[in-house]
Chain A
Amino acid sequence: MELIMEQMPIVIRSLNIGFIQTLKLFFVTLAGALPLGLVIAFGSMSRFRPLKCLAQLGLPGWLTEFRPISCVTRIVVWIVRGTPLMIQLLIIYYFPGLVLNNPIWGGGESGRFLAASVAFIFNYACYFSEIYRGGIQSVPAGQEEAGLVLGMTRSQIFFKVTLLQMIKRIVPPMSNEIITLVKDTSLARIIALQEIIWAGQAFLKGSQGISGQIWPLFFTALYYLVFSGILTILLGRLEEKLNFFR
């Protein structure tokens, strides 16, 4: 116990440094994935049918009804959601240097962070896109029809009618994903991004004169717990604020 008290300041200092990396990755991912997810959601809902004009030629329905954008986006979403984030991190970080012989990320800490951000943003955008899609499609079609009757354009209908109702409906599932994201950031240690788990584990092996200590690693759980507690409260408040449609 005495030993732990002695080591505490050193451990806390390096856990704090690690946690700043964790937070940076968390916020960068959110900032990138929230808008990108919406773009992907539009992509997978796209009803663009370039071959529709060929219908007069008597071609079969599956060809004239083919929706290339929706198809490609859904395949991308399937791949990204269907493979482990850990593998995606490894591929995104090592693939350019290994296969293309052009290590675009570099070996430094900033390169690792950038590669991790790209992997996280893309991965989470795909999950978000499905939540957005669910939210958009849960708004009754009658509202869109009503808007069209009133002479509104489709973009007006989306921004003035659908969007806010969608946001309100997706807050609970989004909260779920956001809290998962807090903990998923720890996967970035696979490409040696020195986030808080890495910092905690360093004392197991020996760092700054402290070695063979397991408690700093367990201690990191407290950081996650406090941070996700704060997020739970904030997201709960947001949900309450958006409750005025009832």
Chain B
Amino acid sequence: MKKWMAVMLAGMMTAASLGGCGSTGSTAETEAPAEETGTAETDASDAASEDAAAEDSAAGESDMAYVQEKGTLVVGITDFAPMDYKDENGEWIGFDADMAKAFAESLGVEAEFVEIDWDNKILELDGKTIDCVWNGMTLTEDVLSAMECSNAYCNNAQVVIVPADVADQYQDEESLADLTFAVEAGSAGEEQVQALGLNYTPVTAQSDALMEVAAGTSDAAVIDSLMAAAMVGEGTGYEELTYTIGLNSEEYGVGFRKGSDLAAALNDFFASSYADGTMESVAETYGVQAALIEQ
């Protein structure tokens, strides 16, 4: 009697764990498509389809068709003003967020914004939990090799952050040699300090790098200039810090799954919205028009 109870219970356990997974899977898939797909095909078929067809064979299955079938373009972001941030109503806005919404509309799908852990962005893409990374992402070697990237759409630079009271001593690259740096692991900033052969500690986020400098545990940090403009100096949380020289210039792009046909579709979308001026007017809304790259 007891034996059989044990067998049954163990069986239930495995059934419950497997069955649980299975059922959530099927509901998640069936909910998504519905009405959206009808309009999707007609809207997006114009410019993008030729490029899509060309890449289809390489990717095995069209990523665009996958997104249109489920009816949502899941955009992986972090809270990063002025590119992606929340307004008072909790709605995601920003230069990247607004462009992502417009792009999703052109595909006939809805944009869904999901906050991700930046370290896991490639995992999230490949695991299909998001469909693109659209968050002021610097096009580094690593990013270009792991993702299918769009054309660059925005200029950026890596700048050196130091305490304001010593800033005048560090206005050229030679002066940085004896400083210890904090940089975000895997960031464009890390590539720069490596290239210059500087001493550095990798930290998990650019904001952590700033905190290291503020706390005095590192002498300096290297972060994105757009972020530096928003986060250090007068009227910010780090009034005692400032930024000095730029180490390089670099560009922002949007990342899709490797082999995705959506990157080509986005390039076409960028070109047409740059041509009719909508891209520039969105950029002006968020004060990034100076950094915009001609498409």
**Which A residues contact B (CB, under 8 angstroms)?**
36, 39-40, 42-43, 45-48, 69, 72-73, 90, 93-98, 101-109, 111, 114, 118, 122, 153-155, 189-192, 194, 202, 204-208, 210-214
Contacts of B76 on A, CB cut-off 8 Å? 107
CB of A192 within 8 A of CB of B208, answer no
In the complex, residue of chain A having the shortest beta-carbon distance to the beta carbon of B20: A118
Known pairs A98-B126, A114-B24, A210-B237 / 14 extra A-B pairs, C-beta < 8 Å: A48-B6, A48-B7, A107-B74, A108-B74, A108-B112, A111-B28, A190-B120, A192-B115, A192-B117, A194-B115, A202-B79, A205-B80, A211-B231, A211-B236
CB of B81 within 8 A of CB of A206, answer yes
Contacts of A194 on B, CB cut-off 8 Å? 115
CB of A104 within 8 A of CB of B25, answer yes
Show 5 A/B contacts (Cβ-Cβ < 8 Å), sorted by A: A73-B10, A96-B21, A190-B117, A207-B79, A212-B214
Contacts of A208 on B, CB cut-off 8 Å? 85-86
**Which B residues contact A (CB, under 8 angstroms)?**
1-3, 5-7, 9-10, 12-13, 16-17, 20-22, 24-25, 28, 74, 76, 78-81, 85-86, 112, 114-117, 120, 123-124, 126-131, 205-208, 210-211, 214, 227, 230-232, 236-238
CB of B13 within 8 A of CB of A106, answer no
CB of B10 within 8 A of CB of A104, answer no
CB of B230 within 8 A of CB of A205, answer no
The smallest C-beta distance from A142 to any residue of chain B, in angstroms, reads 18
Q: A97-B126, A191-B117 are in contact. Are A206 and B6 (CB under 8 A)?
A: no
Contacts of B206 on A, CB cut-off 8 Å? 205
Contacts of B7 on A, CB cut-off 8 Å? 46, 48, 69
The prevalent SS among residues of A at the interface is: helix
In the complex, residue of chain A having the shortest beta-carbon distance to the beta carbon of B115: A192
In the complex, residue of chain A having the shortest beta-carbon distance to the beta carbon of B227: A206
Contacts of A111 on B, CB cut-off 8 Å? 24, 28, 129
CB of B3 within 8 A of CB of A46, answer yes
CB of B129 within 8 A of CB of A97, answer yes
In the complex, residue of chain A having the shortest beta-carbon distance to the beta carbon of B239: A212
Give A202 to B22 CA distance when docked, in angstroms: 34
Partner of B6, one of A42, A107, A190, A191: A42
Contacts of A90 on B, CB cut-off 8 Å? 120, 123
Contacts of A47 on B, CB cut-off 8 Å? 2-3, 6
Partner of A103, one of B1, B2, B6, B127: B127
In the complex, residue of chain A having the shortest beta-carbon distance to the beta carbon of B70: A106
Give A30 to B156 CA distance when docked, in angstroms: 47
Q: A212-B207, A212-B237 are in contact. Are A107 and B112 (CB under 8 A)?
A: yes
